[in-house]
């Protein structure tokens, strides 16, 4: 049991049609729920920390909580920086002991993205840490109106091949129609599988990463709304579409929004039904259980990763 890189996890996943779940963590209950789920499913696990998570929980707390999770569970876990925006934050996380960092240079021009990514790769590899980069821009809901405008932001397969060759990056996040948050599509959900297959064909040895992979399940949105929430018109990527993507080189699937919805639904329900309670443990415990149930469901039914540890 240790903090591990994603190298072996991805090498194994690349040969098969399952993906490793990468779940965002922000506090103890979320970490416990996810880790207990991975243990119950005997699945490989990536815990990822965003800049927002570092700001909220503070890095030292998150590091120690993940170390505690490893001791408590006996699992190997990869600790990953999600959407590092520049070299400095990636360096900081490498120095702190993360085993994997993402440099998200997707907002930059192609050449600049290569330069920034290369710099992070050089530093991270020298310290035994692996790197994920991103090419193409995740579509926002406003881009959904115009299919041409939207596909202009998708990852170009030939560029992906050139990018990987020039940067030496370990894995690549691609844009094929997903986006972050609870509002992914206005009309019919759509993922560009042909583009994904082409990318996978050109760089078959590079593990691909799917961000924005939450499905925004109606049951949980409805439960939030039934207990005082106001989340109208939310829509995610149907789970069978994520499952399909794992067949074409997607080795890492990022899920955050679905965990937020699951936890919030249960916390709202508890508080609404128990107005006299004010012990945070009373409502955080069902929130933590909801995270565990959601992660087990994802690992088993969406990522196909049960017993792949």
Nearer to ligand 13P, 206 or 215 (CB): 215
Residue 24 interacts with ligand G3H (CB under 6 A): yes or no: yes
Q: Which of 17, 72, 76, 82 is catalytic?
A: 82
For residue 80, give the H/E element and its range.
strand 78-84
Task: Please report, as residue ranges, which positions from 283 to 302 form the binding site for ligand G3H (by CB under 6 A).
Answer: none
Nearer to ligand 13P, 14 or 210 (CB): 210
Kindly tell me which residue out of 52, 168, 228, 280 binds ligand G3H, with binding defined by CB under 6 A: 52
**CB 172, CB 134: distance < 8 Å:** yes
Task: Please report, as residue ranges, which positions from 23 to 82 form the binding site for Zn ion (by CB under 5 A).
Answer: none
For residue 133, give the H/E element and its range.
strand 130-135
Nearer to ligand G3H, 40 or 141 (CB): 141
Task: Please report, as residue ranges, which positions from 241 to 260 form the binding site for Zn ion (by CB under 5 A).
Answer: 254
DSSP string, 205-224: TSPEEE-S-----HHHHHHH
Q: 2-14 burial, b for 16+ CB within 10 Å, e for fewer? A: ebbbbbebbeebb
Q: In this structure, what DSSP letter does residue 227 have? A: T
279 is catalytic: no
Give which of 275, 266, 246 is closest to 21, Cα–Cα.
246
Q: How far is the CB of 80 from Zn ion (least distance, A)?
A: 11
Q: How far is the CB of 225 from ligand G3H (least distance, A)?
A: 21
Nearer to Zn ion, 209 or 284 (CB): 209
Cα 49 from Cα 132, distance rounded (Å) = 14
Cα 128 from Cα 100, distance rounded (Å) = 9
Positions in the binding site for ligand 13P (CB under 6 A): 24, 82-83, 180-181, 211-214, 254-258
Residue 54 interacts with ligand G3H (CB under 6 A): yes or no: no
Residues that bind Zn ion (CB under 5 A): 211, 254
The residues that are catalytic are 82
């Amino acid at each position: 049991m240790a903090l591990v890189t994603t190298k072996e996890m991805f090498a194994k996943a690349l040969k098969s049609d399952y993906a490793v779940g990468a779940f965002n963590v922000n506090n103890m209950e979320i970490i416990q729920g996810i880790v207990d789920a991975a243990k119950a499913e005997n699945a490989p696990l990536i815990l990822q920390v965003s800049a927002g998570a570092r700001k909220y929980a503070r890095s030292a707390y998150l590091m120690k909580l993940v170390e505690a999770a490893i001791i408590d569970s006996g699992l190997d876990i990869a600790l990953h920086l999600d959407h590092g925006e520049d070299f400095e934050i990636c360096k900081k996380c490498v120095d702190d002991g993360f085993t994997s960092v993402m440099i998200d240079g997707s907002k930059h021009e192609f050449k600049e993205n290569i330069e920034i990514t290369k710099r992070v790769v050089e530093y991270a590899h020298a310290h035994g840490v692996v790197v994920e980069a991103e090419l193409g821009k995740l579509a926002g809901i406003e881009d959904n109106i115009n299919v041409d405008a939207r596909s202009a932001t998708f990852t170009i397969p030939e560029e992906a091949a050139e990018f990987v060759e020039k940067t030496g990056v370990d894995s690549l996040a691609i844009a094929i129609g997903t986006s972050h948050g609870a509002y992914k599509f206005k009309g019919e959900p759509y993922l560009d599988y042909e583009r994904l297959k082409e990318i996978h064909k050109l760089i078959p040895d590079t593990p691909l990463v799917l961000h924005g992979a939450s499905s925004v399940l109606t049951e949980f949105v409805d439960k939030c709304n039934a207990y005082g929430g106001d989340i109208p018109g939310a829509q995610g990527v149907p789970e069978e579409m994520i499952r399909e993507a794992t067949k074409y080189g997607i080795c890492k699937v990022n899920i955050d929004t679905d965990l937020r919805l699951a936890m919030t639904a249960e916390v709202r329900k508890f508080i609404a039904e128990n107005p006299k309670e004010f012990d945070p443990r009373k409502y955080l415990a069902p929130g933590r259980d909801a995270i565990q149930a959601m992660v087990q469901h994802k690992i088993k039914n969406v990522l196909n990763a049960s017993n792949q540890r």
